[in-house]
Every structure is written in structure tokens, then in C-alpha cells.
Structure 1
Amino acid sequence: MKRIATVGLMVAALGLSACSGLNTKEQRMLSGGAIGAGTGAAATVITGGCVACGAVVGGAIGTAAGYLYHEGKSN
């Protein structure tokens, strides 16, 4: 169990290190995707659906929303 936790922590740290140096549009898209994935997963847990499917669909919608939000702010 300790080994799995260590590997998970290392993967999370490496994943977060890739987020440095993002411009505003990329930050908004990443935030939207993360929020959307979490919301989609939570919604499918409540409704009894496929959690992975809900996370993927929510992430895609959140990423698109982050992009659209950026485009609306830049005009």
C-alpha cells in the first residue's frame, strides 16, 4: 500500500510540474477541464452512471467552456 501511495504522489507531482509557464488561455482551459471532470464524475456517481464517462464528458465540456470564456474576455 505504501508503494502505491508513493507512485501516486510521484505521478501527481510530475503532472503538476507540466503546468508551469501556461498563458492565460491555457490556464482557463486547464481549470475548466479539471472542474468539469470533477463535476462530471460527481454527477455520474449521484445518478449511477459510468464515472469515467462522466469525467471525460465533463472535462471536455469544461475545457471548451474555459476556451470560450477566454475568447469572450479578450474581445
Structure 2
Amino acid sequence: MPKFFVLVTAAALTLSACGNTDLERAGTGALGGAAIGEVAFDEPVAGAAVGAIGGALADDVGLAN
């Protein structure tokens, strides 16, 4: 499970960096996080929350342009 979790987290962070504004990145992160949260952990709401936060902060940590 740990290897799978690392791969899922990396995929979510990569997808959450898509978009031009913080709001677009948060939306992309929320959608991706919800899908990954449902498939991997049966928790789509928690996945969406983590994805949205990750997307909104992606440019602050240097993941987005």
C-alpha cells in the first residue's frame, strides 16, 4: 500500500498544478483528488479537499508557473 499511496499522491500533485489561476488549479485538484480518494481510499470528499488545497497552493511552492 505505501508504494501505491506515493504514486497516487504524485499523480494528484501533478494534476493539481494544471491551470492558470489559483481557482482553476483548486478546481482541477478537487476533481482529481475526489476521483483518487474514491478509488484508493473510499473517501472522495477528503480527496477533493486535499486536492483543492494542493492545487491552490501549487504555485506558492513552485509546482506551477
TM-score scaled by length of structure 1: 0.51
Unaligned regions of 5+ residues in structure 2, if any? 1-19
Structure 2 counterpart of 1:69, which letter? A
Query: Shift of residue 68 of structure 1?
Result: 1.4
Structure 1 residue 72 corresponds to structure 2 residue 61? yes
1:67, 1:24 → 2: CA distance?
8
Residues paired across the two proteins, number: 44
Pairs within 5 Å for 1:1-75: 24-44=21-41, 51=42, 54-73=43-62
Unaligned regions of 5+ residues in structure 1, if any? 1-22, 45-50
Q: Which has the larger radius of gyration?
A: 1
Query: Shift of residue 39 of structure 1?
Result: 0.1
Percent identical: 32
TM-score scaled by length of structure 2: 0.58
Q: Which runs of 4+ in 1 moved over 4 A?
A: none
